[in-house]
Amino acid sequence: MESPVIEHRIHNFSSGPSILPQEVLERAARDLVIHPELGHSVMELSHRTPFWEAAMERAEADLRELLGVPDDYAVLFLQGGATLQFAMVPLNLMPEGGVADLINTGRWSQKALAEAKKLGRDLRVAATSEPTGFDRIPTQLDLAADSAYVHYVSNNTIHGTEFTAPPDVGDALLVCDASSNILSRPMDVARHGLIFAGAQKNLGPAGLTLVIARRELLDRATWSLPTMLHYKPLAKAGSMLNTPPVWAIYITGLVLDWLKRQGGAEAMERRNAEKAAILYGAIDDAPLFEGCTAPDSRSRMNVTFRLTRDELTSAFLAEAASHDLKYLKGHRSVGGCRAALYNAMPVESVQRLADFIRDFSDRHA
């Protein structure tokens, strides 16, 4: 059988699941077959073993170090995706008969809103950018006086907008869906009550959901919850109430180690700013292209753009793919084009895309 490591890698702009660091993939490929310390696959091992407990502890310690997570916050490695958090957050943090607020910045906020409503929870829209097609981050908030928390999405994967800092909500508890920009820049964890993220963009493969929550909030639920939906018992069991998603956690551990060696969130912020400047620079310069979002709300992670002559979009995507610039089609709900520039995306790949955009524009001007 041939080696699973293939030399030729395309430029992968997928918004998720997405690019992972090459060296992480190579190490994971080796350990999937035989981990040198174990003499068998890392997947052929009980999670109730010293090897696995050490791997979980190391992943948690690295994450705490990289994000500066204070001691009075729990770190949970869960399943169910960020989507399950749309239910777990209101179930755990909203008192019966209470209200909470949400900043509606697009599809992932709308899904959180729909889920809370389905559960009969009073989640209100404190601000929305829907009237302008979610092309910006709204700034005026109208918060309920007795709000249990304010839910916001720090990076809007589909629309291509991003908060540059957490919204100012005064004393209210902040809940952040950081699925698509976690660890792409430093984050003030202490300003939040709870942060959650699906792993499959900046953290690792699909199958793992990270939750970081202030410990005093874990037992806030005022009604009986199924054990697997209740933060408190999950935290008490060290995220091992049942078999954890071992493969996803293992690879995430490798990614966190890689991130530390790259210089952490600060280094990622610099590199991500550089990549975004290269790509937005090309989009702004090339007459055939335009960005989809307000300049002060532009995402550094998911760059959305379109062609001023829409009839050329398919040709652009096909020609880009033939140059190994792949997965640039915009989300089916918004159309156009989108390039994800997550942490593992090399600057050279972004430069390649920027050059191609300029060239395509020149040829069709």
**Catalytic positions:** 108, 177, 201
Q: What is the nearest approach in angstroms of ligand PLP to the Cβ of residue 86?
A: 8
Residue 198 in the binding site for ligand PLP (CB under 6 A): yes
Residue 83 in the binding site for ligand PLP (CB under 6 A): yes
Considering only residues 81, 90, 245, 330, which one is a binding residue for ligand PLP as defined by CB under 6 A?
Answer: 81
Select 246 or 286, whichever has its Cβ closest to ligand PLP: 246
Distance, in Å, from the CA atom of 244 to the CA atom of 313, rounded to the nearest integer, reads 42
Residue 115 in the binding site for ligand PLP (CB under 6 A): no
Quick one: which of 77, 20, 344 has its CA closest to 196? 77
CB 256 within 8 A of CB 63: yes
Cis ω before 17 (30° cut-off from 0): yes
What is the x/- site pattern for ligand PLP, positions 161-180, by CB under 6 A? ----------------x-xx
Quick one: which of 184, 126, 127, 128 has its CA closest to 155? 184
Tokens of 6: 């293939």
Considering only residues 113, 148, 153, 210, which one is a binding residue for ligand PLP as defined by CB under 6 A?
Answer: 153
Q: What is the nearest approach in angstroms of ligand PLP to the Cβ of residue 81?
A: 3
Select 82 or 307, whichever has its Cβ closest to ligand PLP: 82
Select 198 or 264, whichever has its Cβ closest to ligand PLP: 198
Tokens of 307: 């062609």
Q: What's the distance, Cα to Cα, between the start and end of the chain in Å?
A: 49
Q: What is the nearest approach in angstroms of ligand PLP to the Cβ of residue 106?
A: 8
DSSP codes, 1-41: ---S--S---EE--SSS----HHHHHHHHHHHH-BTTTTB-
Residue 18 in the binding site for ligand PLP (CB under 6 A): no
With H, G, I as helix, E, B as strand and everything else as coil, classify residue 283.
Answer: helix
Among the listed ranges 80-88, 245-253, 340-348, 356-364, the one in contact with ligand PLP (CB under 6 A) is 80-88
Which residues are bridge partners to 150 per DSSP?
A: 101, 174
Considering only residues 69, 82, 282, 292, which one is a binding residue for ligand PLP as defined by CB under 6 A?
Answer: 82
Distance, in Å, from the CA atom of 150 to the CA atom of 130, rounded to the nearest integer, reads 18
Give how far the C-alpha of residue 325 lies from the chain's centroid of Cα atoms, to the nearest Å.
22
Considering only residues 92, 147, 157, 349, which one is a binding residue for ligand PLP as defined by CB under 6 A?
Answer: 157
Tell me phi and psi for residue 148, to 5 degrees: -75, -30
Distance, in Å, from the CA atom of 52 to the CA atom of 45, rounded to the nearest integer, reads 8
Q: What is the nearest approach in angstroms of ligand PLP to the Cβ of residue 26?
A: 25
Among the listed ranges 61-69, 77-85, 140-148, 233-241, the one in contact with ligand PLP (CB under 6 A) is 77-85
Q: What is the nearest approach in angstroms of ligand PLP to the Cβ of residue 154?
A: 8
Residue 16 in the binding site for ligand PLP (CB under 6 A): yes
Which residues of this protein are in contact with ligand PLP, per CB under 6 A? 16, 81-83, 108, 153, 157, 177, 179-180, 198
